[in-house]
Amino acid sequence: MKRIFTIVAALFMTASVWAQSPEKMSYQAVVRNTNNTLVATQAVGMQISILQGGATGTPIYVETQTPSTNANGLVSLEIGTGTIVSGDFTTIDWANDTYFIKTETDPTGGSTYTITGTSQLMSVPYALYAKTSGSSTPGPTGPQGLAGVDGADGANGIDGLPGADGADGTNGIDGLPGVPGADGTNGIDGLPGVPGADGTNGIDGLPGALGANGADGINGIDGLPGADGADGLLTAGSAAGDTPYWNGTSWVTNNSNVFNNGGNVGIGTSVPDYKLDVNGTVAIGPGTNKIQIMESSNTSQFRICNGGGGAMVMANFSINCDGNASVGAILFITSSGDVTIMSQAAINCTMSASSNVITINSTTSPVCGAYTYTFSVTSCVATATFSNGMGGGIESKWIVLPGN
């Protein structure tokens, strides 16, 4: 936007120069903005340069001024009296070369110059030329200079008053008929006519669909009981709670492997204490990698992996010979049988592990000796073999989380 402003504004700047005194020149310009509107009655920032040898020649003198425009956008200043940026106006040899005036303008009064104009000094001011010419005798007339560039067109003048109306012309040929208009709204209906005589009856239509059923009538007297039917697939059981199962050939009704007393269900027990009470090892999960929960006396066996890895085992041990001695531990058992105690909490005993053996020692009287479990693994099935040199046994509970 700034580049357009600079070019357009520069086209509307004109200047005139004449001799005033031996050390200065008068300069005037009209400043317009990009809308061709005069910049009137405000300060503008200007930088004036004297160029030697051409429109892009060397600036031999540069000064800045901040004049104000009048109501017509005209700015007047004297070159040689501004703030000097470079050069010395009094030492310019006007007779030695051709010179150009370059003006740069900031319409806002600052030093951001957006309007630029350059024009040649076609005749040197008399007083300045005479100071360096060496003679007051006029020289011969020089050749005719080239015609200057035409100035920009001036602004349009105010429109004149409207002229008087001319005489009416003759009527032109009628145009083609227009498109028909939309239909108007319907008028009010007339009064009904006198009813006509009844026509003859038409042919009867087809029968309609059946209607909905009526309400049921009162039940009749019950008939006599029928004969007993044949026995069903299941026969009566012999004990309450027994749950039948299919053995592949027939239903077995007298069985307590699964027992349902109407509130709790037992597997392997006919006296379930919980909603599901299992007497034996429980395995939960898909495939062979199941979570196992078991209780045993002395030796135990469980699956720890599915081809590799090992198992995280939560175990609790209670020593029979000292009812106050027990230990709970989290163990890690590798696929080779080595055991690591991850954490433990012991009461009246200690637990240690070495390679594939864990040892539990009671610490209270009577001293029951050392209880050991030796782990061996075959095809991912671990066997924990119990041993106690002093005699007696141990109760163990296991929760096994097998690895991959």
CB 135 within 8 A of CB 67: no
Strand 265-267 relative to strand 276-278, pairing: parallel
What does residue 5 show for φ and ψ, rounded to 5 degrees? -60, -40
Pull the structure tokens for residue 322. 């000292």
CB 298 within 8 A of CB 384: no
CB 32 within 8 A of CB 107: no
CA 361, distance to chain mean position in Å, is 63
| Whole-number pLDDT of residue 34 | 72
| Fold (topology level) of 282-402 | Immunoglobulin-like (2.60.40)
Q: Which of 11-20, 184-193, 313-322 has the lowest mean pLDDT?
A: 11-20
Radius of gyration of the chain (CA): 61
Confidence at 264, pLDDT banded by 50, 70, 90: confident
Mean pLDDT across the stretch 263-277?
79
The owner of tokens 């009813």 is 195
Q: HSE of 62 in the Cβ direction (CA atoms, 13 Å)?
A: 8
Q: For the segment 95-114, what is each residue's pLDDT rounded down to a tens digit?
A: 888 999 999 999 999 999 98
Q: Which of 20-24, 212-216, 350-354 has the lowest mean pLDDT?
A: 20-24
Pull the structure tokens for residue 58. 């060397």
Count of residues in the chain:
404
What does residue 173 show for φ and ψ, rounded to 5 degrees? -65, 140
Q: Which of 115-124, 130-139, 167-176 has the lowest mean pLDDT?
A: 130-139
Pull the structure tokens for residue 207. 């029968």
Pull the structure tokens for residue 95. 């007779």
Closest CA to 361 of 346, 375, 376: 346
Whether the predicted pLDDT of 336 surpasses 80: yes
Whether the predicted pLDDT of 236 surpasses 80: no
| Fold (topology level) of 2-133 | Immunoglobulin-like (2.60.40)
Instruction: Name the most confidently modeled range: 101-115, 162-176, 268-282, 326-340.
Output: 101-115
Domain residue extents for the chain? 2-133, 245-278, 282-402
CB 348 within 8 A of CB 367: no
Q: CA–CA separation, 67 vs 225, rounded Å? A: 131
Closest CA to 65 of 29, 31, 109, 21: 109
Instruction: Name the most confidently modeled range: 65-74, 161-170, 354-363, 372-381.
Output: 65-74
